[in-house]
């Protein structure tokens, strides 16, 4: 991997949003090759430079002897996906009792729940998140009211919100629940709060959102707050999908 801005590296590693990472750098908490760097635009190479936050090494790719770890977690509602909390809100990473640096592969918003993947291996994580590979993410979504055929068509064909087009890959009705309805929604892109924004736009706010699948990896029988290691076959299936 070539050189990239320090703030981008921190954000890509799951530390926080790009803007928050810039603030962290300016606060003097980040070192590159054991020297404090205060410039968010400072260029680093993850495979060459030693990058640390609060004296904790971030780019473990420098350590070729490390054990590769892949974890599936059921993130409960009201947990942050970021590695660091900037308030009293708890972070999902704190639920994983593993004393190794792990970062999230993508995010779930604070009010959503379900499957999150954590790893210490950057290559596969980047491939999973890269739009080029179109990795499917499946959600169980409870909408207010019942979606009309026109609303379903708009969800698939796309909605322009804030100058960006949002669309789902597939949406399938599951069941009614009093005055609300449940759908399976599949995405191949991961814009922030995408399904929630689309629900608001079509007049059917999202009342509950649960991610149940990332590519071939399923949430399965995990309960909120529980986690498990991925099996060898699951890891292989991820590698195979991102090698196409």
Query: Which residues participate in catalysis according to the annotation?
Result: 109
Summarize the confidence of residues 56-70 as an average pLDDT.
66
Residues 227 and 187 in one domain: no
Residues 171 and 196 in one domain: yes
pLDDT higher than 80, residue 65: no
Report the domain count for the chain: 3
Which domain range does residue 186 map to? 136-214
Q: With both helix axes pointing from N to C terminus, report the angle between 232-241 and 122-129 in degrees, rounded to the nearest 10.
A: 60
Residues 208 and 172 in one domain: yes
Residues 8 and 57 in one domain: yes
pLDDT higher than 70, residue 60: no
Per-residue buried b or exposed e for 183-192, using 16+ beta carbons within 10 Å of the residue's own CB: bebebeeeee
Residues 197 and 146 in one domain: yes
Residues 83 and 198 in one domain: no
Q: Residue 75 is part of a domain; what is its CATH number? A: 3.30.70.580
pTM: 0.76
Q: Residue 153 is part of a domain; what is its CATH number? A: 3.30.2350.10
Closest residue by Cα to residue 180 from 137, 221, 209, 157: 209
Euclidean distance between CA atoms 105 and 242, whole angstroms = 14
């Amino acid at each position: 991997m070539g050189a990239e801005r320090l703030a981008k590296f921190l954000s890509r590693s799951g530390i926080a949003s790009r803007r928050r990472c810039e603030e962290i750098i300016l606060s003097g908490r980040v070192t590159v090759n054991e020297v404090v760097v205060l410039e968010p635009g400072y260029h680093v190479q993850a495979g060459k430079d030693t990058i640390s936050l609060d004296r904790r090494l971030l780019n473990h790719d420098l350590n070729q002897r490390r054990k590769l770890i892949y974890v599936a977690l059921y993130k409960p509602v009201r947990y942050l996906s970021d590695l660091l909390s900037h308030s009293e809100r708890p972070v999902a990473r704190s639920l994983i009792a593993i004393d190794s640096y792990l970062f999230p592969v993508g995010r779930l918003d604070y009010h959503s729940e379900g499957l999150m993947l954590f790893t210490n291996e950057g290559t596969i994580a980047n491939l999973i998140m890269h739009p080029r590979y179109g990795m499917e993410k499946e959600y169980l979504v409870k909408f207010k009211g019942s979606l009309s055929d026109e609303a379903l068509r708009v969800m698939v064909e796309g909605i322009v919100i804030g100058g960006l087009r949002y669309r789902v890959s597939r949406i399938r009705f599951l069941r009614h629940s009093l005055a609300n309805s449940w759908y399976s929604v599949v995405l191949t892109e991961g814009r922030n709060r995408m399904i929630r924004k689309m629900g608001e736009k079509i007049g059917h706010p999202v009342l509950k959102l649960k991610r149940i699948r990332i590519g071939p990896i399923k949430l399965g029988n995990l309960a909120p707050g529980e986690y498990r290691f991925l099996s060898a076959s699951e890891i292989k299936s991820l590698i195979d999908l991102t090698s196409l």
